[in-house]
Amino acid sequence: MANYAKLIDKQVHNAFKKTVSLQEEVIFNLKEGESFNFGTGQPSFDSEEPVRANVLVVKTYTKNEVVRKQLLIERIPNLDVYDSVTMSTGKWKIGEILQDTGHNQIVEVFRG
């Protein structure tokens, strides 16, 4: 079974190389140094690190008046719901990581 996972990861990587004209360059804004501010009741962060990446938009849909996209990316370590992604259509919040193979991820982003 593990051999199939490696083969699939390799093929997804090859698909990325072959679909470069369909990809969108984005910036993942990764928050670092998380703490909790009891005064505001919100998390606070020490810094934000921008990470450039190419993504393939797999699916776009609206659910409960919220626009959502599923992005196929080559893995971004430590990606979580406090981070965001800046695309050509504006800034999107990170939602659920739908799949993480260790090499590739399908990540849901949303706004609205």
Q: Where along the chain do its domains lie?
A: 2-35+42-111
Q: What was the pLDDT predicted at 88?
A: 94
43 within 8 A of 33, measured Cβ to Cβ: no
| Pairwise CA distance, residues 9 & 86, whole Å | 26
92 within 8 A of 109, measured Cβ to Cβ: yes
Q: What was the pLDDT predicted at 68?
A: 96
Predicted TM-score (pTM) of this structure: 0.78
Q: Which of 9-13, 33-37, 90-94 has the lowest mean pLDDT?
A: 33-37
Residues 22-64 have pLDDT tens digits of 899 999 998 876 677 778 877 666 767 899 999 999 999 998 9
CATH for 2-35+42-111 is: 2.40.10
